Amino acid sequence: MAGTLQTLIFAPETAKTPSFRHRNLHFPSNRSVPGSPKDFNWAKPLSKFAADNFLPLALIGGVTLGLANPSLGCLADKYHLSKVSTFVIFIISGLTLRSGEIGAAAEAWPVGIFGLV
């Protein structure tokens, strides 16, 4: 303890840092401000990719989550999540259909009945 106090008392003074008046405070106007729209040029293509590939990304995410924590898979099985998720996948796929695709499916009703038989 005494050695520490002597070191603190007799230690040489550290070098002083330069004051702010010596620093260049000029900010050039050609730099982008963090958080400006130019910084998020990657967000729009990434968002479009995620919207176009929602189903594969969701399935890959589910498998990855199951591999990372298998107890979540046991919990999902307990609450029949596989049946609910299948239903939700079909609902989301149906909501993303264009009206022309819905019309084409309605015109092909005999094929749908053949598939059910």
Number of domains in the chain: 1
- Whether 80 has a pLDDT exceeding 60, the answer reads yes
Q: Which domain holds residue 75?
A: 54-96
Flag whether 77 is in a domain: yes
**At 36, phi and psi to the nearest 5?**
-75, 165
- The whole-number pLDDT of residue 72 equals 87
What mean pLDDT comes out for the span 67-78?
88
Flag whether 21 is in a domain: no
Quick one: pLDDT band at residue 49, thresholds 50, 70, 90? very high
Flag whether 13 is in a domain: no
Which residue would you say has higher pLDDT here, 94 or 20?
Answer: 94
**What is the spatial distance between Cα 93 and Cα 55, in angstroms, rounded to a whole number?**
9
Quick one: pLDDT band at residue 71, thresholds 50, 70, 90? very high
Flag whether 1 is in a domain: no
Flag whether 90 is in a domain: yes
- The whole-number pLDDT of residue 64 equals 92
Contact (Cβ atoms closer than 8 angstroms) between residue 33 and residue 40: no
What mean pLDDT comes out for the span 51-68?
88
pTM above threshold 0.75: no
